[in-house]
Chain A
Amino acid sequence: MNSDLVQKISYHLLRLITYAIVVSVGYILFDIIRHGLPVINWEFLTDFPRRSGSEGGILPAILGTVYLTIGTIAVALPLGVGCAIYLSEYADQNRFSELIRLAIITLAGVPSIVYGLFGLGLFVIFCQFGTSILAGSLTLACMVLPIIIVASEESLRAVPRGFREASLALGATKWETIRTNVLPYSISGIITGSILAIGRAAGETAPILLTVAAFFLPKLPNSIFDQVMALPYHLYILATQHPEAEKVLPLQYGTALVLLMLVLGMNLGAIILRIHFRKKYKW
């Protein structure tokens, strides 16, 4: 057989399979948007759930997720950026930095349910925070730490050497150099990493299952030691534990769409920001 023809057919086959993946992702998004969109209105977003989630809105779940992500990022951002600065600006190739990298790789691979067990053992029981926003945020912070470190370190390393040398040559100390000549130019990568981390934290269910989430709690938390509802957990409960799961299907779709929009919005934002900054700083 003609080898050009073989190549053509093979390329089309490869293309077909790749596009099949894209189409299946597209179909999932389409299905959730199609069924979820009619459910979403002002009342759904701003009302409390009634009759154990059969009616009403999802306000406490939305706010719960917002509180959790704020808590997560408040803990993970300073730690992650600090670690990234150390790795890119201070660390030599030695045992210590190797160990840190190994730890980051390990953290990135730990299954989310294991983070849940860890959070339960350390924060809920040992630190006696109870099932609370605090315990959940700390657990999620451990989980997203590698995302922030990797993104921040990459953008710190992208800042040209000359920027540092010029500053040092003018007599600035190392930290002054980092603060004034390196950090400002890597802020984009740090923000991108943080947004990705927020998206991940907002969508995860397994870690909060054991550390924060309330089954049905139609009120808002008073302190960081309270339980909250959260969007992913609410969806899980409505879809699998609700006595009339079939009946509340529209509410499930609505919740799924709100969660999806939140997470995809974050990721899209990160992608756009990355492109924007790539154009702005060219060196």
Chain B
Amino acid sequence: MRMDKFMRMLLVSTASISILIVALIFLFLGKEAFPFGFDPGLGKLFDTKWIPVSFQEERFGIYPLVAGSSLVTLLAMLISIPLSVVGAIYIAEVAQPVEREILKPFIEILASIPSVVLGFFGLVVLAPLVKNVFGLSSGLNALTAALLLALMALPTIITISEDALASVPKSFKQASLSLGASDLQTIFRVTVPAALPGIIAAIMLGIGRVIGETMAVLMVSGNSAIISFFPLDSVRTMTATIAAEMGEVPFGSHHYQALFWIGIVLLLVTFVLNILSRLVLKKYGMAQ
């Protein structure tokens, strides 16, 4: 019996570790970023220029980086949402069982390709293609990054949307069919609307994935910290800024602390998206 009590205690403590890690993530990001609030002050972050290394005045405005992340994410979602929702509908509702068993592992493979490999592919294949198609001097821009990110969001959106579609009760479809609706009408007027909350949650998780993605974006977005909403401009995202600059900043400098603030913004955005989408999935009983 003593062994039993001991094991129980041990398991409770290992289970608590995930809570501890989450707390530590918030704590240590906050700890490194905190001093920036006093000197030079948080107001410095709300600025339109990111010039962290300068002989005159260093500026830590995160607006260009937020704009970069937003533009890339928006473009990626414009491409990814229609493709992945259609893909999910096809796999869940139209495909033959054998076809489904082949398509699903393919989506899993896409999910498992390391982002640095996709970034590399973007750099050597996709960027030259974008460059030639639009007659640009460089193919490293928001559109190229968005194309890669769209690809990365596909598995997330497809898998969760497909679960949502599959969780629509059979009786809904049977009722629709028995009233004389065709298969196609049933899919688009009954099944998809019923699964809509799940599909929206899937899209939110996809957005979270895209905003947090680092390596592919770092390699193909061109990395100029300008505020632009033109897809063929070079942009710099929040994630790429951290990855590119953290290696070279002096420990504890204002620049270092500003990078941690960007990390906090990223953490909060993905945290909120994640929690909201899980709540939706749970409410409608569509969690895996």
Residues of A within 8 A of B (CB): 3-4, 6-7, 10-11, 14-15, 17-18, 20-22, 24-26, 28-29, 31-32, 78-79, 82-83, 85-87, 90-91, 99-100, 102-118, 120-122, 125-126, 142, 145-146, 149, 173-176, 199-200, 202-206, 209-210, 232-233, 235-236, 239-240, 249, 252, 256, 259-260, 263-264, 266-267, 271
Residues of B within 8 A of A (CB): 1, 3-4, 7-8, 10-12, 14-19, 21-22, 24-25, 28-29, 31-32, 83-84, 86-87, 89-91, 94-95, 103, 105-110, 112-121, 123-125, 151, 154, 182-184, 205, 208, 211-215, 218-219, 239, 242-243, 246-247, 251, 259-260, 263, 266-267, 270-271, 273-275, 278
- Asked whether B246 lies within 8 Å of A31 as measured between CB atoms, the reply is no
Query: Which of A3, A18, A103, A200 is in CB contact (< 8 Å) with B22?
Result: A103
CA distance A183 to B286 in the complex (A): 28
Residue contacts A-B, CB under 8 angstroms, 27 given: A4-B182, A11-B94, A11-B184, A18-B91, A18-B95, A21-B83, A83-B18, A86-B11, A86-B12, A90-B12, A106-B271, A107-B22, A114-B267, A115-B25, A126-B28, A145-B21, A176-B4, A203-B114, A205-B214, A206-B214, A206-B243, A209-B243, A209-B247, A233-B116, A235-B116, A252-B124, A260-B113
For residue B278, which residues in chain A have a CB less than 8 angstroms away from its CB? 105
CA distance A99 to B271 in the complex (A): 14
- Asked whether B208 lies within 8 Å of A259 as measured between CB atoms, the reply is no
Could you tell me the distance in whole angstroms from the C-beta of B288 to the nearest C-beta in chain A? 9
- Asked whether A111 lies within 8 Å of B213 as measured between CB atoms, the reply is yes
- Give the total number of A-B pairs whose CB atoms are below 8 A apart: 247
Q: Are A28 and B263 also in contact (CB < 8 A) when A17-B83, A86-B15 are?
A: no
Contacts A118-B28, A205-B114 supplied; 17 other A-B pairs, CB < 8 Å:
A22-B103, A83-B11, A87-B15, A90-B11, A109-B274, A111-B213, A112-B212, A117-B29, A121-B32, A142-B21, A142-B25, A174-B8, A206-B214, A209-B246, A236-B219, A240-B123, A259-B114
CA distance A122 to B205 in the complex (A): 27
CA distance A104 to B288 in the complex (A): 14
For residue A21, which residues in chain B have a CB less than 8 angstroms away from its CB? 83-84, 87, 107, 110, 154
For residue A264, which residues in chain B have a CB less than 8 angstroms away from its CB? 109, 112-113
- Asked whether A109 lies within 8 Å of B116 as measured between CB atoms, the reply is no
Could you tell me the distance in whole angstroms from the C-beta of A256 to the nearest C-beta in chain B? 5
For residue A146, which residues in chain B have a CB less than 8 angstroms away from its CB? 18
- Asked whether A121 lies within 8 Å of B14 as measured between CB atoms, the reply is no
Query: Which of A18, A106, A118, A235 is in CB contact (< 8 Å) with B87?
Result: A18
- Asked whether B15 lies within 8 Å of A82 as measured between CB atoms, the reply is yes
Query: Which of B29, B219, B247 is in CB contact (< 8 Å) with A114?
Result: B29
- Asked whether A263 lies within 8 Å of B263 as measured between CB atoms, the reply is no
